[in-house]
Amino acid sequence: PNTTLFRSFSWEPQQVEVLESGTLALSSGPVLDPGGKQVATFTSIWRRETSGEWKIVFDKGNRVCADEGAGHE
């Protein structure tokens, strides 16, 4: 049996930009573990369909470096 446990996480955009044409957008922000610690960042590119619905066309996540922010006072 597969005993792999899946951990939950959450994310929310900190930045959203939409082209003046209203056809493409970018959202990005932190990915948080269940304890609220940032473990990654995400970037999503959205395309507005002719129906007006937004669809993700590209989605990318990057882990946060363990020493990010260290030594920057």
Count how many Cα atoms sit within 13 Å of the Cα of residue 47 in the half-sphere of its side chain: 6
pLDDT of residue 72: 45
Tens digit of each residue's pLDDT, the chain (73 residues)? 444 455 688 999 999 999 999 999 999 999 999 889 999 999 999 999 999 999 999 999 999 887 655 544 4
- DSSP state string for 3-47: -PPPPP-EE--SEEEE-TTSSEEEEEEEEE-TTS-EEEEEEEEEE
Q: Are the C-beta atoms of 38 and 12 separated by less than 8 Å? A: no
- Cα–Cα separations (whole angstroms), residue 54 to 14, 25, 69: 18, 9, 34
pTM of the model: 0.73
pLDDT of residue 3: 46
pLDDT of residue 65: 82
